[in-house]
Amino acid sequence: MYGAGKLESRNIREYETAARYARDSGHTGFIECLLTMAEVEWEHELYFRSQVASHRWGPRLRLWPQPPPKEAIRLSFKQELVSVAERVRPSGKLITDP
C-alpha cells in the first residue's frame, strides 16, 4: 500500500505534465483525458494514503508529500492558459518582454 500510494502521487504530476505537453504540441484532443487521469490518480493516492495511515504501523511511517487538493489539477492548468493568453499579441506572437 505504501509503495502504491507513493507511485500514485507521482503519477498525478506525470499526467498533468503530459497534458501540458499535449497543449504545447497542439494535441489538444488529449488534454481532457489526461487531466481526468490525473484526477483518477489523485483518488487512488487518497485511498492508499488512508490505508497506510490507518494501519497500526501508520503513525510510525513517514508518508510521501500530500498532493494539493484535487481541484488544483484543473485550476492550475486553466491559470496557465490565462497567463499565456494575456501575453499573446493580436498577431499571435508570444510577448516575451516583461
Residue of 80 and 92 predicted with greater confidence: 80
Are the CB atoms for 70 and 42 separated by under 8 Å? yes
Quick check: helix, strand or coil at residue 88? Answer: strand
The answer, as to whether pTM is greater than 0.75, is: yes
CA-CA distances (angstroms) from residue 63 to 44, 74, 80, 94, 95?
15, 25, 29, 41, 42
Per-residue model confidence as pLDDT tens digits over 30-86: 999 999 999 999 999 999 999 999 999 888 888 889 999 999 999 988 888 767 666
Smallest CA-to-CA distance from 44 within 12, 69, 75 is with: 12
